Amino acid sequence: MSVFRNAKIVLADEVITGSVRVENGRITSIDAGQSREGEDFGGDYLIPGLVELHTDHLENHYRPRPGVFWDPLAALHAHDAQIAGSGITTVFDAVRIGSDVDLPDMLVHAQELVHAVRSGSEAGWLRSEHFIHLRCELPSHDVVAHFDALADHSSTRLASVMDHTPGQRQFRKMADYLRFYAPKMGKTEADMNAYVDARLAEQAQYSAANRQALVERARAMGIAIASHDDATIEHVEQAEHDGVAIAEFPTTLEAAAAAHDAGLAILMGAPNVVRGRSHSGNVSATDLMTAGLLNILSSDYVPFALLQAVFLLPSRVAGLDLPRALATVTSNPARAAGLDDRGEIAVEKRADLVRVAADAPLPVVRGVWREGKRVS
């Protein structure tokens, strides 16, 4: 049994000063006012543990440099420590599937990462609770086979259908695509043009059939489906037809509005909020929040960006308070992923909790508890 007192407790619709009691991994009581019992938070915030649905951070630890692949368990250990240290107690590790010319043996790498997450979870040495999010690259010839090899396990809870073919969705203007990727790939103009032509041919051959097959499989297995980089009303209509629950990173206000009208949970990147803009020139997450078109934030490639964005948003969006900002990284993603036992400080909910000091230039994580057990 633990008691946390003298804390600013962020509830679903208000912030109160008081104490929270935890027993057997669950919240058993919330009391306003003074208490002499338990750990004194000194006026720091007590918030729910953050829920992260889409982070590429594990892959970045596993492949820290082009052509360099780290030990997958060591990569997971480093990733997990940073995730928990950022206040994230539930994380969906995004694992890309579908081979391409850069990684023709993608399944081998995906299996390494998925096995590491599953074995680390089963052994009980991970600080945060980890699930698998399969990022399905539709134009890849073997993406369905990869899904079949990795999806049938309780840890796989989310699949996103993605198409990064040049000239559409994330990079609707070919010039933007070339400006972003050409320096990274180090290709000549002729080689880059040939590369783009090959990607367009793959999309024409594989994308539509792969999307249908993957959506059917995910539905049958009860795996939540996310669309990715929807840019048009037609994209959203397709997502609605496919039974998509989450619209990840819509690139236009038009697509976000259509997704909202269709009842999809709209997910945007927290780095977009922190930077004030999209790295690829698409719609701003802050503008979507202002328009009432943002439900979930994802750290994407910077784990700490979740907490940083939450404490920034109320100063940037008129009328937005901390509880509603915090819901974008707690209760809303938990609900979208079907995890109704967490994401809120409420009696009977899991005691996934974070102590945050917010009197510095940035919010500072001072303690993290998962099911009542301190993990960071």
DSSP per position, 192-212: HHHHHHHHHHHHHHHHHHHHH
Does 161 fall in a domain? yes
Confidence of residue 346 (pLDDT cuts 50, 70, 90): very high
- Written as one letter, the residue type at 246 is I
- Number of domains comprising the chain: 1
Can you read off the two tokens belonging to residue 367? 């303690």
The burial of 311, by beta-carbon neighbours within 10 Å (0-12 exposed, 13-18 middle, 19 or more buried), is given as middle
Q: Which two tokens stand for residue 358?
A: 């917010």
What CATH number corresponds to the domain at position 59?
3.20.20.140
Q: Please give the Cα distance from 110 to 161 (Å, whole number).
A: 16
How much is the pTM?
0.92
Q: Which residues contact 156 (CB under 8 A, 6 or more apart)?
A: 114, 131, 132, 134, 150, 223
Residue listed under structure tokens 């070339």: 178
Say if residue 317's pLDDT is above 60.
yes
Q: What is the DSSP letter of 362?
A: S
Place of tokens 């996103």: 160
Looking at the domain assignment, is residue 347 inside a domain? Answer: no
Q: Is residue 152 part of a domain?
A: yes
Token pair of 97 as six digits: 């599937």
Residues 205-247: tens digit of each pLDDT: 999 999 999 999 999 999 999 999 999 999 999 999 999 999 9
Measured in degrees and rounded to the nearest 5, phi and psi for residue 324 equal -75, -35
Task: Tell me whether residue 39 is in a domain.
Answer: no
Question: How confident is the model over 170-177, as a mean pLDDT?
Answer: 63
Residue 302 CB: number of other CB atoms within 10 A?
A: 18
Q: Give residue 279's pLDDT band: very low, low, confident or very high (50, 70, 90).
A: low
- State the residue range of the domain holding 156: 49-340
Dist. CA 333–CA 50, nearest whole Å: 9
Dist. CA 300–CA 284, nearest whole Å: 15
Q: Could you report the per-residue pLDDT of 99-120, keeping only the tens digit for each? A: 987 788 899 999 999 999 999 9
In a domain, 18, yes or no: no
Say what the pLDDT of residue 233 is. 96
